[in-house]
Structures are given as C-alpha cells and as structure tokens.
Amino acid sequence: MIINDRMKTILNAVVHLYITTAEPVSSEMIVCYYGLPVSSATVRHDLLVLEKLGFLKKPHTSAGRLPTDKGYRFYVDKLMEKNINSLSEEEKEEIIEQYKIGRDFNEIMIITSKLISRLTNNLGLVLAPNMVRDTLKDIHFIALDNQRLLVTLITNSGLFFQKIMKVNCDISEENLETISQIIKKEFYGKNLEMVNEEMLKKIYQYSFEYQALESIWNLIENCFDFTVDNTKVFLGNRSYILKQPEFKEIEKLNYLFDFIEEEENLVKIIKRSILKKQIDIIIGSELGQEIMQNCSVITRQYLIKGKPRGAIGVLGPTRMDYSKSISVLEFIANRLSEILPE
Amino acid sequence: MIINDRMKTILNAVVHLYITTAEPVSSEMIVCYYGLPVSSATVRHDLLVLEKLGFLKKPHTSAGRLPTDKGYRFYVDKLMEKNINSLSEEEKEEIIEQYKIGRDFNEIMIITSKLISRLTNNLGLVLAPNMVRDTLKDIHFIALDNQRLLVTLITNSGLFFQKIMKVNCDISEENLETISQIIKKEFYGKNLEMVNEEMLKKIYQYSFEYQALESIWNLIENCFDFTVDNTKVFLGNRSYILKQPEFKEIEKLNYLFDFIEEEENLVKIIKRSILKKQIDIIIGSELGQEIMQNCSVITRQYLIKGKPRGAIGVLGPTRMDYSKSISVLEFIANRLSEILPE
DNA sequence: ATTAGCACTCTAAGATAGAGAGTGCTAATT
DNA sequence: AATTAGCACTCTCTATCTTAGAGTGCTAAT
C-alpha cells in the first residue's frame, strides 16, 4: 500500500481538525472543511487504508478517526509546514518585551516558563543551564553579616553558582583573600566536577601549611559539597494545560501532576535534547512512560556563548498544536540565547 | 439559644468526622464514633439547633451535616486542641533534615513550599522576605565576563538582592571601586526604597564630577530601576491538593488554579499576616473571594534577625486538617527563623 | 429532657430506550 | 479501476424512569 498525495492531504486534515476540535474526525468533516473534489465515501476508503497502515485509529466502531502516535509522527516529519511565522506580531513583541528588563537568572527562567505556558496553552518547561562541564574562573566571598558569607563561584561561561556559608567565628578579610587566592591558584580553569572532587584533598594539604585557616577550610569543605549537576527544571503555569479536554477526568490529571512534579522525570526527557540542534519532538509512547502515553513534549536547546547549555520545552497532550509550539520555542530560544551571555 | 457542652462536643465531632471522611456526618455516626451517652434522636435535636445557629448545614434535606464557615471558625477558635505535637518524630526529623544543607536563598523557599505541601497534603505557600524597609549596607560588583556585571546589594538584615548589568564597554576595576564608594557614601543606612528613588538624582549630580564614569552611571540607572517590593510567592507541589475530593470536578480546579497562579491574589492574602504573631486562619468566605469560598488559608510569619519579614502558609479546602496544618507551619516557621540569619 | 418509631425526602445507581453520528459494504456508475 | 450513492449496522450519548438506601424531622410515649 502506497500513500498517495490525496491520502497525505486527508491525513493532514485529520490531524488539523483533531487538533482544533479535539473530536474524532469524520469523512464528511474532511470533505466539508477541505473542499476535496471527491465524495465522503472515497475519503472513507482512504481513511480505512490509513487506519490499516497505523496512522489513524477510531475510539469505537461508529466514530470518526484520530491520529495515532505514528500518525502524528508522519505529520510532524513530512506534512507540517514549518512556518515560523505562525507567531503574530503582538506575540513576538510580548516576548521581546519580557526580556527587556535586566533580570536575575532565576527570574529569567521563571518568566520564560510562564511565557511558554501562556503562548502554547500548555505547560512551559525550562531546563536551567548545566555547569558540570564549566571550569572555574573566579571565586568571591561577600560578607552578608558577621555570621554568613555569600560564596559566588563564577565559571568560564559567565554563569555563577552561589552558596551561603555559615561561619561561627570571625573571619578576617585577609584570611578570605588568602583562601580565594589558593582556590584560584589550584583550581583556575579546572572542571567544576573536578573542583568538587579534589577540594577535600586540597583542604587537607593546605591545612598543614596554614593552620590558622583550619576552621575555615572545614566550612569550605561543607560549602563545596555541592552537586554540580544540579539540573533544575522550571515549570510554567499549570492553569492552561488544565483546561485541555484530555484532562477533564481528574484521574488523568493526577497521573500527569504526579509525573511532572517529580523533577527527575522531566530532566530525563529534556536533557537529551540539549545537544540537538533542531527542535526535538517526542510523541506519546515515544516518551517511554506508560502514564504519559497521551502527552507529547517538544524541546529546543538554547545557547550560552554560542554553546548549547540548556533547553526549553512544551508539554501538552499529543493533540497539541505542534506547529505553533515549535514557533514559540524557536523564537523564545533565540531570544534567550541572545539575552544570556553571548 | 445557648450552646451547652454536649453541643460543643457534637459540633467538634461533626468537624472531625467531616475533615477525615469528607462526607456529610449523620447523627448515627456521631453517636457511634464518639460514644455519646445519648441516642441519635437527641443528637439530631442538637444538630437542628446548631444548624439554626448557623454552625452547620446540609447539602440536601435527607443528608448528614457539615460545618459552615461559622462552624469551622468556632471549632478553630474554641474547640480545637492546639496540639503542636501532632507532628510525628519522623516528620520533625524530615523537616530538620531538609534544612541541614547550606542552600541558597531561592532553594530554601522552594524546598519549604514543597515540604509544606507534602506534610499537609495541600498547597504549601512561601512569601519571600520583603526588603522595602531594609537599608543599604553594602554593594558589590563582580565581573561575570567582559560584558556583564553581577551587582549584589546587601541589606542591614543580611538579605541580598542581585541584578545582572550589561556593559558594552570595558569598565576598569578602579572605576567600579569609585562607584561603589560613592554609592556607599551616599546611601549607606538609607532605606532601599529611598535608594531607588534618589539614585537618579545622584547619578546626575555625580556625572558632572566624574565625567569618565558617565556611561557607567547610565547603566546603573537601569540597574537600580528595580521594584524593591518584589514580593514573590513560592508555590509547593500541586499534586496533593489535586487529590482532595472537593476538586474532583475539573471546573472547580480550573477556578482554583486561575486564582493561585495569579501571584498578586496570594500576595494580598498572605501579606497581611506577616506582622501577626500568631497563626492566622482565614476560612472560606472570609477570604473575600467568591471563587475561593470553599478554601481556607492558614499562614504564619517567620523572622529574620528577630523581625517578622515574611510568611509561610497552607492553602486547602475549608475541610482541611487545621490542627495538623498549624503544627506543620509552626514547626517549619521556627526552623526557618533559625536558619535565616538570626 | 430524652427516645423509639415512622413517614417523608432526596440522592445515587442501575436499567431501558431512542436519537444520531459515522462507519463499512455493496452495487451501480463513470 | 476508481468513485460514488445508498443503506444496514454499530456504538455512544442523553434522557427518563425506577429503586434502594441513607438520613432526617416530627410525634407520641417514657
């Protein structure tokens, strides 16, 4: 069986109509809305073939048809117009507007996830940049008060990482200076992961040399016991996806929320797309999660200093508007890559 | 009509049973579970009185009874045992454990909101400390790369506030030092709100004196155009409240989410409790929000350096476990006040 | 003041029936 | 060989009805 052009048109029609109406699509509907020069009976014949090929399915014998995951896949790969201009001028302006104000890093992630939610009517996702492969460039100690230090670690890509360090003794600026000198000398240009691992050894080594610093070294030891791989996912507004008809049964919603609020689940899905240059679309069962069978995730890398460092995404029902979502992600990822250090 | 002791017991019983079963409570149930030395007919008589007084209501004629907002209010004010020990040892340990690691500020807020969600089975809320009344203590510029500066503003209470400043020209350390000296000199000890307002004037004043710094002043102008009153609400996991039977209809859930994801709504509710020394309980219609009529919010201030600066809270259906929620909030607020600078 | 007894009310759940949507097949047509 | 009109068939969805059961409120007796 070969898929001819008309069948492609029909498949495309089913996907489109199903995406917009959320109802199984009948042969009549297709003829009506797409003005095909054939009768509904002919369309029905083609539908039958498309179903046999696994692109479509019926919820029950006397219902219209809707795309299978394979159907969506074909649509996304072969049929969908990659029309980046499906964003209106207003929407583009809205996005640009959001990034004008000089925000701090966390805020940018939050804003972005909410923006994606609003524009796609689904759940926006942002995977914060991962610093595992970054190298140490600088370290600063700032006294917040006489008991707490703010330690700021700056990496080669201009990202930073902060911890608050509790000190129970007075620490002179001089000592801090010595320490930051030592750390810089020992670890400058070294991989953060290595810094993490070797800090302990160095602490012991130097604690002989600078006995006065011993107590501080202990603090630093705790302070640097950080998991560099602190991949963080920011979720946008949930209120939009809540309104999607596929979640009108509370039970499905429960499964969805249990899944998405377990951070690792999403990290696993999004992470793999950081290094992909193209939009990454994962449809339904491709997610490999029983619970998420009727959801799709679309992701897009973003760059920092020209290098892929994180990703943004949309999570919605498989019946989501792929074209629109892609446009939104492309546009926002590009903005983000501009905003974040080039 | 006077409420005698038996009636109080009965009201208490209705609240308890309704909280645990989520079903209207019958006279029989009360006798059965509370071993009252009277018959169900007598209980029915009292129930009638309690209903006439407005403490109870029936969903329909032949159903059991459940508390009205007034009923919950009476329960909360007069009947409920304020038993802080309703937390198990394990739960306490779990809380303490969470705060052992030296986390950054944002993380603490996130962790806390999630912790509250999990322990109360409802939605945890955290209102980040407000810095409007803080005064400037210190300012630091850290170069992230040759195009961006991390500006850290430290306040008298040891809180800090950060912005990223984009610079399109090289700025010498010397110049930065001069600027931070000037800012410290002019604004040290001054209210942040005032700093915000007067920065502009000062910039013009000094731009005559130090013409070399002009371009930097412009940047700082943008940088300090911050709303100090950036009250931020952190929401914990939604998955728990989703499972409450009052939200089994998707429509109600939609209303709820539309409300809670509009940050100002929650800020308005929580803000007022920052200065209250006691647990603050707002029941149903007391929230003054049509949409939130069947929800309650419980809040508790937390301290920084002994002063009330923010609040944590729980949002759940009016049929929530007030006693448990209060215990959770008390305990966490105390931990938080210890963790954050004393 | 309390209680047993009972009629009454309302809901929740199950059963039944009919309308309507949409299909798949067949036979006729182009 | 492809297309189409016609139609029987299937399944869902909605409405209506019925019944069981839970729980009340009232009355009269204790």
pLDDT digits (tens, 9 = 90+) for A32-78: 999 899 999 999 999 999 999 999 999 999 999 999 999 999 999 99
Residue A219: give its domain's CATH number.
Answer: 3.30.390.10
CB of B66 within 7 Å of some strand D atom: no
pLDDT of residue A84: 65
- How far, in Å, CA of B138 to CA of B156, rounded? 8
A70 — phi, psi (to 5°)? -60, -35
pLDDT of residue A13: 97
Q: Are residues B261 and B295 in the same domain?
A: yes
Strands ordered across the beta sheet of B148-155: B136-145, B148-155, B160-166
Query: What pLDDT shows up at residue B103?
Result: 73
Looking at the structure, tell me whether residues B153 and B216 fall in a common domain. Answer: yes
Count other C-beta atoms under 10 Å from residue B1's C-beta: 8
Residue with tokens 């009292």: B46
Query: In the listed set B61, B79, B97, which residue is the last one of a domain according to the structure?
Result: B79
The answer to whether A166 contacts B102, with C-beta atoms less than 8 Å apart, is: yes
Rounded Cα distance between A65 and A72, Å, is 13
Q: Are B98 and B115 in contact (CB under 8 A)?
A: yes
Residues of A in contact with B248 (CB under 8 A): 250
Which of the listed residues A61, A79, A97 is the one where a domain comes to its end?
A79
Is A150 in contact with B145 (Cβ distance < 8 A)?
Answer: no
One digit per residue, pLDDT tens: chain B, 342 residues? 688 999 999 999 999 999 999 999 999 999 999 989 999 999 999 999 999 999 999 999 999 999 999 999 999 999 998 776 789 999 999 999 998 876 778 889 999 999 999 999 999 999 998 887 788 899 898 888 877 888 888 888 888 888 887 776 667 778 788 888 888 888 888 888 787 777 767 777 776 666 666 666 666 666 665 555 567 899 999 999 999 999 999 999 999 999 999 999 999 999 999 999 999 999 999 999 999 999 999 999 999 988 898 999 999 999 999 999 999 999 999 999 988 865
Task: Verify that B235 and B325 share a domain, yes or no.
Answer: yes
**How far are the Cα atoms of A270, B7, B17, B220, B278 from residue B22, in angstroms, in the given order?**
39, 21, 8, 56, 28
Among B200, B223, B246, the domain-final residue is: B223
What is the domain extent for residue B190?
Answer: 136-223
Answer yes or no: do B124 and B235 share one domain: yes
Residue pair B203/B221 in contact by the 8 Å Cβ criterion: yes
* CATH code, B75: 1.10.10.10
Based on the fold, state whether residues B159 and B204 are members of the same structural domain: yes
| B63 CB below 7 A from strand C atoms | yes
- What's the CATH code of the domain at B264? 3.30.450.40
| Residue in chain A lying closest to B161 (CA) | A104
Return the amino acid letter for B334: N
The amino acid that residue A139 corresponds to is I
Search chain B and give the residue with CA nearest A147.
B341
Please provide residue A180's backbone torsions phi and psi, each rounded to the nearest 5 degrees: -65, -30
Which pLDDT score, from 0 to 100, does residue B218 have? 65
| Number of compact structural domains in chain A | 3
Statement to judge: residues B118 and B190 lie in one domain: no
Based on the fold, state whether residues B41 and B152 are members of the same structural domain: no
CA A53 / C1′ C28 distance in Å: 29
- Do residue A114 and residue A235 come from a single domain? yes
> For position A229, what pLDDT does the model report?
57
Chain A residues near residue B250 by CB distance under 8 angstroms: 242, 247-250, 253
Q: Kindly write down the DSSP assignment for every residue of B215-269, as one continuous string.
A: HHHHHHHHHT---S----EEE--STTGGGSGGG-SHHHHHHHHHHHTSHHHHHHH
Looking at the structure, do residues B191 and B48 belong to the same domain, yes or no? no
Pair (B302, B235) in one structural domain: yes
Same domain, A144 and A116: no
Alpha-carbon distance of B215 to B73, in angstroms, equals 60
Q: In this structure, what are the phi and psi dihedrals at residue B340, rounded to the nearest 5 degrees? A: -70, 155
Give the contacts of A11 (CB within 8 A, at least 6 positions apart). A3, A50, A55, A56, A67, A71, A74, A75, A79
A chain contacts of residue B342, beta-carbon cutoff 8 Å? 147
Residue B83 burial (C-beta neighbours within 10 Å; 0-12, 13-18, 19+): exposed
Q: Are residues B13 and B147 in the same domain?
A: no
Distance between CA atoms of residues B121 and B98, nearest Å: 18
Residue whose tokens read 């779990």: B94
**Which stretches of chain A drop beneath a pLDDT of 50?**
none
Say yes or no for a CB contact (<8 Å) between B144 and A162.
no
Proximity of residue B45 CB to strand C below 7 A: yes
